[in-house]
Amino acid sequence: MTFDAWASETFDDSFRISVKVRQTLFAESSPYQKVEVFDTERWGRVLMIDGLFMTSERDEFVYHELLTHPALCSAPAISRVVIIGGGDGGCAREVLRHPEVQSVSLVEIDRLVVEASQKFLPSIGTAWDDPRLEVRIEDGVEYIANLPPASTDVILLDSSDPVGPAEGLFNATFFAACRRALKPGGVLALQSGSPFLMPKTFRDTQRVIAESFGCVEPYFANVPLYGSAIWSWTYASDQATRYPKIAQRWGSIAETCKYYNLDIHDAVFAAPTYVRRLLR
Amino acid sequence: MTFDAWASETFDDSFRISVKVRQTLFAESSPYQKVEVFDTERWGRVLMIDGLFMTSERDEFVYHELLTHPALCSAPAISRVVIIGGGDGGCAREVLRHPEVQSVSLVEIDRLVVEASQKFLPSIGTAWDDPRLEVRIEDGVEYIANLPPASTDVILLDSSDPVGPAEGLFNATFFAACRRALKPGGVLALQSGSPFLMPKTFRDTQRVIAESFGCVEPYFANVPLYGSAIWSWTYASDQATRYPKIAQRWGSIAETCKYYNLDIHDAVFAAPTYVRRLLR
């Protein structure tokens, strides 16, 4: 990262996003990665890991609402939820807005991410004290492999891209283990990268999920700090198609949502033509 | 613009997008603005005006297809089309894909933009020689004011943001003149800025259009080079609601579209919750 009061992320050595920094609040390395938190001019506090923007107070609502609510507003049951990654606490916050959720396990491999987020990003992780939440510092791949079969309603993968610590989350063995851990009819949702900036990774991820799940549907929106491009998440279940949205679930979270609503729930699944062609 | 082999656009002195440049192909100033064309590493050729990214060969399809086809795939008639701005030729190219279009006037105030685009961006303006296209170098505000009433089926505003030469395009007098120049039932479409990066400008534009048009509906997508955020266009007509899409029109352009399709046509009109609240 070049740093002259700007924090920057560079893609393909050809495209760069920079945010003006007021102050570095935190910068430490764990055995897994370098974790930094910046206070910025217009993006609030920003979490950066290994030189990649992870989230900011200004735009995190887009990412966290879209990772969570398409699954949680349509899955047949949502009592038992597992989050892999998600150490900033934003995904857990959105999950725990649903009164039907009875228990959430957040499984983050890197303690440093959780500690930095709890201390410096309290506006993102507002649900750390919810008694329904269990935080486990351990490897998500092993955790999923060891879950009892058919024990979980919804699994959310809130990971970085498939390089570094998250690499093991994007292969056939892991998705097969997710399928096994889910109850029949359970739903998996994950962030799945940018089809514009990383088309091959996006396409390969769709294909590997389809080895274990019958319904695999990517959906799309823009998270400003994520490479300035269309981003994707993916919804998967053992059914043939997505479950229809459940308006009553939306009713219980509507007031707090800044991005998600029932029109957005369906609209985000419309794929641009170039993405359709990529997936053919 | 800072230039160290990167071309950059900075928003609010706090956020910056940079593209790695191989070579500056063109850099001249007109009485209106500074016009530059760069050859870049991964974005093809890029047009920059007064330090703002206008379009690139890599992502221009998103902007030009979405400015054009929601209007042209739904307006009751599309024989006679006027484009204000659009000096790079990309919007005219998309309009002229429709066989029902009989004549297009492209009214660009700055000859330098047209000349630079014709010479250095031939992959974007591929329809300059179409006999249905008339290029006029003149002020779009005066042109629209002087059009015979009820003479035009569709007006497209392909302008920069409401500062500099485009300022006169975003006020009540101009939109009233557009309404007057349109046939009953005619459609206006325009780029209307980012509700994320410039919420007040976006909201003010919606309100001023509504002084002249009954149906005013913004729609949304991401254009990567436009400030890393959700972008908007606006669809307006004298009706109460949008016209439904016409599948037959889509059939005639489907093969060439990279972004637009019939699912996208409706999906882009779904507004995120924060945008709904902004417009309340």
Test A224 with B225 for CB contact under 8 angstroms. Answer: no
Question: What is the structure's pLDDT at B65?
Answer: 98
Query: Who's near A207: CB < 8 A, 6+ residues apart?
Result: none
Considering only CB atoms, A260 lies closest to which of B14, B261, B273, namely: B273
SS3 content of chain B, % helix, strand, coil (to 5): 30, 30, 35
Instruction: Check pLDDT > 80 for residue A227.
Output: no
Considering only CB atoms, A18 lies closest to which of B16, B40, B61, namely: B16
Span between the terminal Cα atoms of chain A, in Å: 37
CA distance readout (Å), A1 to A50, A97, A117, A198, A204: 9, 36, 20, 20, 28
Instruction: Check pLDDT > 80 for residue A3.
Output: no
Test A267 with B266 for CB contact under 8 angstroms. Answer: yes
Q: Catalytic residue among A158, A204, A238, A263, which?
A: A158
Considering only CB atoms, B229 lies closest to which of A40, A224, A269, namely: A224
Model confidence band, residue A54 (pLDDT cutoffs 50, 70, 90)? very high
Residues A36/A24, Cβ–Cβ less than 8 Å: yes
Question: What is the structure's pLDDT at B164?
Answer: 67
Q: How far apart are CA A147 and CA B85, in angstroms?
A: 60
Maximum CA extent, chain A: 52
Extract the tokens encoding B134. Answer: 């008339």
Model confidence band, residue A1 (pLDDT cutoffs 50, 70, 90)? very low
Contacts of B271 in chain A (CB under 8 A): 263-264
Give every residue of chain B whose pLDDT is below 70, as ranges: 1-4, 162-165, 228
Test A16 with B16 for CB contact under 8 angstroms. Answer: yes
Name the average pLDDT for chain A: 94
Nearest Cα of chain B lies from the Cα of A223 at a distance, in angstroms, of: 7
Q: Which residues of B lie closer than 8 Å to A, measured between beta carbons?
A: 6, 12-20, 40-43, 59, 61-62, 196, 221-222, 224-225, 227-230, 257-261, 263-264, 266-274, 276
Query: Who's near A78: CB < 8 A, 6+ residues apart?
Result: A72, A98, A100, A101, A153, A154, A249
* Interval B15-68: pLDDT, tens: 999 999 999 999 999 999 999 999 998 999 999 999 999 999 999 999 999 999
Sorted by where each starts, the structural domains of chain A and their CATH numbers stand as 6-56 (2.30.140.10), 60-279 (3.40.50.150)
The residue of B53, B62, B197, B228 whose CB has the most chain A CBs within 10 angstroms, and thus the best one to mutate to test that interface, is: B228
* Interval A251-268: pLDDT, tens: 999 999 999 999 999 999
Model confidence band, residue A246 (pLDDT cutoffs 50, 70, 90)? very high
**Quick check: is A266 catalytic?**
no
Test B270 with A276 for CB contact under 8 angstroms. Answer: no
DSSP sequence for B161-230:
-SSGGGGGGSSHHHHHHHHHHEEEEEEEEEEEE-TTT-HHHHHHHHHHHHTT-SEEEEEEEE-TTTTTSE
* Interval A138-150: pLDDT, tens: 999 999 999 999 9
Query: Who's near A153: CB < 8 A, 6+ residues apart?
Result: A75, A76, A77, A78, A79, A80, A81, A182, A183, A186, A187
Q: How far apart are CA A51 and CA A53, in angstroms?
A: 7
The residue of B222, B260, B268 whose CB has the most chain A CBs within 10 angstroms, and thus the best one to mutate to test that interface, is: B222
Test B264 with A272 for CB contact under 8 angstroms. Answer: yes
Instruction: Check pLDDT > 50 for residue A178.
Output: yes
Test B264 with A276 for CB contact under 8 angstroms. Answer: no
Nearest Cα of chain A lies from the Cα of B78 at a distance, in angstroms, of: 23
Q: Which residues of B5-26 are buried (b: 16+ CB within 10 A; e: fewer)?
A: ebbbbbbeebbbbbbbbeeebb
CA angle (B215, B217, B222) in 5-degree steps: 160
Contacts of B266 in chain A (CB under 8 A): 267, 270
